[in-house]
């Protein structure tokens, strides 16, 4: 879930303009799709069809609180190619209790749940206190260590503290990805030094706040990079046509790959191939049908 999500509105049910319908040359994995958002209630199946047509064949649905994680896990049982995460976003960290911890533990036992999270630190919005955020993150890192599942992390303006906490836990974690990374080069290299994965979104194409990533996005090793929409938020700003309601969706992931490939000096096909391999390995997802 984007850190800006409580303040961004999106409208569902509007088909994509024809100019935006491009197809990835290689099947893609969207590692962060908020498909339990209400904007997808009216047209979820059509959204998934458009994703398939764009060759976005595998989706990891973000579970950022108990209700959302429960819904994500259920959706993943209904549709092929869907998987789920289960965790508590730092915006809601004050809600962490022993009862919630047990409910999350039960979700993590489900086959459709492939990661602990979305969890982490957000010192930008500060919707929960730093103390509550650190307490909830610590508890969820413990769950990840207990289950062996990888961790789906959120971090905004909290890189130094996140690195401190992750250094203490890294040896006990199987793997972790900092999703929708938007920080600076120093923080990026701190995460890479811990052998973490990095998720990239359409933020890179946002001239208001994301262009700094262009200077060092190529520093991410091929086998550490994954791609995501974080839909319905963070609609890429490199699109050649406008979308009514500005709702982002998985079918637009190839546009993010196109932007990333340009700034990494590679082809869209090669970036798609590598990020898909990395994502399936990270989340322990079986081969995509037909690949």
- Supply 49's token pair: 């069809």
In-domain check, residue 6: no
Residue 2 resides in a domain: no
Q: How is 152-196 classified by DSSP, letter by letter?
A: EEEEES-HHHHHHHHHHHGGG-S-EEETT----HHHHHHHHHTT-
Tell me how far apart the alpha carbons of residues 201 and 269 are, in angstroms, rounded to a whole number: 17
pLDDT of residue 1: 59
Residue 244 pLDDT:
87
* Helix ranges restricted to H, 183-267: 185-193, 253-264
Residue 153 lies in a domain: yes
Model pTM above 0.85: yes
**Per-residue pLDDT in tens (0 to 9) along the chain, 291 residues:** 554 443 343 455 567 999 999 999 999 999 999 999 999 999 999 999 999 999 999 999 999 999 999 999 999 999 999 999 999 999 999 999 999 999 999 999 999 999 999 999 999 999 999 999 999 999 999 999 999 999 999 999 999 999 999 999 999 999 999 999 999 999 999 999 999 999 999 999 999 999 999 999 999 999 999 999 999 999 999 999 999 889 999 999 999 999 999 999 999 999 999 999 999 999 999 853 333
- Range of the structural domain that residue 174 is part of: 18-283
Residue 289 forms part of a structural domain: no
Instruction: Please state the length of the chain.
Output: 291
H or E element in which residue 53 lies: helix 44-53
Specify the CATH number for the domain of residue 139. Answer: 3.20.20.140
Please state, in angstroms and rounded to a whole number, the distance separating the CA atoms of residues 128 and 267.
41
Residue the block writes with tokens 């909830």 = 136
The tally of domains found in the chain comes to 1
Please, are residues 181 and 198 in contact by the beta-carbon 8 Å criterion? yes
In this structure, is the dihedral angle defined by the CA atoms of residues 249, 205, 219 and 134, taken in order, positive or negative?
negative
Instruction: Extract the tokens encoding 99.
Output: 């009862």
* Structural domain includes residue 195: yes
Kindly tell me the sign of the dihedral angle through the C-alpha atoms of 265, 268, 285, 4. Answer: positive
Domain contains 4: no
Residue 12 has a pLDDT of 55
* Any domain includes 13: no
Confidence (pLDDT) at 268? 98
């Amino acid at each position: 879930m984007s850190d800006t999500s409580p303040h961004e509105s999106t409208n569902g049910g509007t088909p994509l303009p024809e100019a935006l319908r491009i197809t990835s040359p290689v099947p893609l994995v969207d590692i962060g799709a908020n498909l339990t958002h209400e904007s997808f209630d009216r047209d979820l199946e059509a959204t998934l069809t458009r994703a398939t047509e764009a060759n976005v064949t595998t989706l990891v649905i973000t579970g950022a609180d108990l209700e959302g994680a429960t819904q994500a896990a259920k959706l993943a049982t209904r549709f092929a190619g869907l998987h789920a995460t289960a965790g508590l976003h730092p915006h809601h960290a004050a809600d962490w209790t022993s009862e919630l911890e047990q409910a999350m533990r039960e979700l993590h036992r489900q086959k459709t749940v492939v990661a602990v999270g979305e969890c982490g630190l957000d010192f930008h919005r500060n919707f929960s206190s730093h103390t509550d955020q650190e307490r909830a993150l610590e508890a969820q890192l413990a769950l990840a260590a207990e289950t062996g599942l990888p961790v789906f992390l959120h971090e905004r303006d909290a890189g130094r503290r996140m690195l401190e906490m992750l250094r203490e836990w890294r040896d006990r974690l199987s793997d972790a990805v900092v999703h929708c990374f938007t920080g600076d080069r120093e923080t990026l290299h701190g995460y890479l030094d811990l052998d973490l994965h990095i998720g990239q979104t359409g933020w890179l194409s946002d001239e208001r706040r994301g262009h700094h990533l262009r200077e060092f996005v190529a520093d991410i090793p091929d086998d550490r990079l994954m791609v995501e929409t974080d839909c319905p938020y963070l609609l890429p700003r490199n699109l050649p046509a406008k979308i009514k309601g500005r709702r982002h969706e998985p079918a637009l992931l190839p546009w993010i790959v196109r932007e990333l490939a340009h700034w990494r000096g590679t082809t869209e096909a090669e970036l798609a191939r590598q990020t898909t391999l990395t994502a399936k390995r990270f989340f322990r997802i079986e081969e995509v049908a037909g690949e």
